[in-house]
Structure 1
Amino acid sequence: MTSGAKPDPEPTTESHGRSPSGPSNPKDPQVLKIAIIGCGKIADGHVEQIRATGRGEVVAVCDREPLMAEQLAVRLGIPGQYTDAAQMLAECRPDVVHIATPPDSHRFLAELCFAAGCHVFMEKPFALTEAQSREIVVLAERAGKQVGVNYLYNYEPPGLELEQWVAGGKLGEIVHLDTSYGYNLAGDYGLAVMSDPNHWVHRLPGKLFHNVLDHVLAKVVPFLGDEIETRVLAFRRRGLTGSAIVDAMPDELRFVLRSGHVTVTGNVSAHGRPVQHQLRVIGTQESLELDYTARTLVRTARWAQPSALGRLFPAWVQAKQFAGNGWRNLGRFRRHEYHYFQCMRELLTRFYDAVEAKGPPPLPTAQILRVTRIIDQIVAGIAAQEAGQNAAPTEAHA
């Protein structure tokens, strides 16, 4: 999920802004002043979930295109609208800035925000490369500010349940993970990419994969170290469109990672149906199957009884687990906790806790850097494959 903002790496210096009339609620120090840079489609989700947390008020939005800033501000009742980020930061003095622009602008905008004394919450991809990501992390540390990224699916109900399983040591040692992510090129986001050769996704080093691999990898990096071997296979399954730029984008990706005794297999598919978003975690004591679309987590079935009769029981055990997931999801729905971006709400709550020194950062920077490092390796593997080089393992070091 990414912004529809224009892809230029820096906002214009044109002076065009309407500022809010002071703090949103000066009597309540717990209400954070929040601004958003990038007013594309994903910005709506940010505004909705910021408000849903009850922790902050969106005081201003900024986009290179005046109409983009205006439409978001008018539709959602936001007082400030700007085309110049520096002007917005100077006039509004937000506590937190959400950056929802294409990733080629993230390094520049993050530095601007940290210099203005703001914490930064970034849309994924965090940056174009691991090197840029490290620069952003260093800038945050020097400024004494928090930096986060929207790895929201870790905070879906099955992701939160997995967190509890791991914390309780119930899985034993992790042996293997299998992560699968589907992408519908006929959906709203997919059509935007496929119909426009100038779309910023086509300029990413890893093209479409570069824009979705954060979702695929963020779930598995907590189980990996900093030395990672990578094997990659990428190809285009769809037919030709006649556009050299669009046709250069592969749409099927398979990869294998190894870090110490832990292995990962990954699948990104634009053609598999139904569109999948799943994770399997295999441990030495228990194994789990997570479905992020259905919001379910079940233990992998065991065949504990001898003889063929024992094979009758696992299906019923699985059925009971799925029924339990269904009832819990119904409860979340009745409590208004089943919104599409409910996971972002949980992530933002934890991030704002860190901003206010009420809790640790939800995503350690080491994990963010690990994601960007693996993406670099996958992109390098795709480039090597396209160049006809041998598909030898590549290794990344911290």
Structure 2
Amino acid sequence: MRVGIVGCGKIADGHAEQLQTVARAQLVAACDREPLMVEQFAQRWPGVARHTDFAAMVREERLDVVHLATPPDSHVALACAALEMGCHVFVEKPFAPDAKGAARILEAARVTGKRVSVNYLYNFESPALGLRDLLDAGTLGSIVHLETALGYNLAGDYGMAVMSDPMHWVHRLPGKLFHNVLDHVLAKLVAHFDDDFTVQAIGLRRRPASGNEAIDAMPDELRFMLRGGNGVTACGMVSSHARPVAHTLKVYGSRDTVELDYACRTLVRAARQSQPSALGRLFPPWVQASRFGSNALRNVAAFRRYESHYFQCMRVLLEQFYAAIEDNAADPVPHEEILRVARMIDAIVVALEVGA
């Protein structure tokens, strides 16, 4: 399938790199409104045709699939246009600025009969795939509660881009920094909720004021709680200050509990005391050590198979997305979950505004 990327910023290179490994995909073109950006992208990825006009790229390059790596306030218009021009669409997160926009994209996909998906890549990390197996097997029982934490380093490459530029698109989002990262947090949770949920949230800026109004208006700490109509609850933290930078999920089930660390790529079931008295307390740490050791061996094996790079999870997601197109298989990210994530983000933004 002939593929074009729209938006030639930093994340576009991640898409381009993983597309090289997807046998069904051939990256043939890139587009950006800024000629210098697309020129530099084409230099990094030789053989890619350069364009500054989106519609012209789709027509002239006879594209089958479009990847959107543009700021999210452009996603609705571009995705709907690409779908109407006969392309399947893969969208970088956030999928849309709000649930209304997300619904428009999904409806356009339904009407045109084309596939659309979003880069919820961490749901395809090895720990997440392991969690899916445990859930399918019923090992955890029914889900009771989930705890999630995501760190965002404002001194890192992406963080510095936001902090150094008051005109950065993140500052235009209703939820600012949180709006940009909550997809990663909520995409892990939504499968366990129905559409009847309530939200509580607080946000604050912990860092000192910079003197720039736009930058200082961006909070950097978020706490939220979700309660589903099905009885499931979840709490979450997005933090720019907690160290080490976290990326974790803990799932409490009626039969067992499991903790995932996406940065370390580990999934460890809880150890329980089964022997009596003080003697019984000696065994659980050894059980946990053994389980972490098994994860370490699994990660070594993945490293030897060249499956341990940073965006390995995006590769898995893209392979499933392109298989869904060619083989008429199930969407790797269900559309109802995409819309539910957007609705949850909207609800968190409203809760933050009410509490401000």
The answer to whether the superposition gives a TM-score over 0.5 is yes
Show the counterpart of 1:92.
61
The one of 379, 383, 391 equivalent to 2:349 is 379
Show the counterpart of 2:108.
139
Which residue identity lines up with residue 383 of structure 1 in the other structure? E
* 1:155 and 2:158 aligned: no
Show the counterpart of 1:116.
85
Alignment partners' CA distance in 2, 1:79 and 1:37: 12
The one of 340, 354, 362 equivalent to 2:324 is 354
Q: Taking every aligned residue pair, what percent have the same amino acid on both sides?
A: 57
Show the counterpart of 2:262.
292
Show the counterpart of 1:327.
297
Show the counterpart of 1:244.
213
Show the counterpart of 1:208.
177
- Report how far residue 76 of structure 1 moved: 1.0
Secondary structure at the aligned position of 2:281 is classed as helix
Alignment partners' CA distance in 2, 1:118 and 1:98: 10
Show the counterpart of 2:147.
178
Following superposition of structure 1 onto structure 2, how do residues 175-324 of structure 1 map, counting pairs within 5 Å?
Answer: 175-259=144-228, 260-324=230-294
Q: Deviations over 1:68-104 (max 9, x none)?
A: 1111112111331100000001101111100000000
* TM-score under structure 2 length normalisation: 0.99
Alignment partners' CA distance in 1, 2:172 and 2:341: 20
Q: Which has the larger displacement, 177-186 or 65-74?
A: 65-74
* 1:72 and 2:67 aligned: no
Alignment partners' CA distance in 2, 1:331 and 1:100: 32
Secondary structure at the aligned position of 2:30 is classed as strand
Alignment partners' CA distance in 1, 2:348 and 2:226: 10
Alignment partners' CA distance in 2, 1:220 and 1:377: 15
Alignment partners' CA distance in 1, 2:40 and 2:345: 34
The one of 299, 309, 313 equivalent to 1:339 is 309
Backbone CA RMSD of aligned residues:
0.7
- Report how far residue 198 of structure 1 moved: 0.6
- Report how far residue 129 of structure 1 moved: 0.4
* 1:368 and 2:342 aligned: no
Unaligned runs of at least 5 residues, structure 2:
none
Q: Deviations over 1:31-83 (max 9, x none)?
A: x1110000001111101101112221101000000111111112111331100
- Report how far residue 358 of structure 1 moved: 4.4
The one of 32, 43, 47 equivalent to 2:12 is 43
Q: Which has the larger displacement, 349-358 or 41-50?
A: 349-358
Q: Deviations over 1:178-236 (max 9, x none)?
A: 01000000001101111111111001000000000000000010000001110011111
* TM-score under structure 1 length normalisation: 0.88
Runs of 4+ in 1 over 4 A off after TM superposition: none
* 1:103 and 2:72 aligned: yes
Which residue identity lines up with residue 160 of structure 2 in the other structure? L
Do the aligned partners of 1:93 and 1:116 also contact (CA within 8 Å) in 2? Answer: no
Alignment partners' CA distance in 1, 2:250 and 2:308: 23
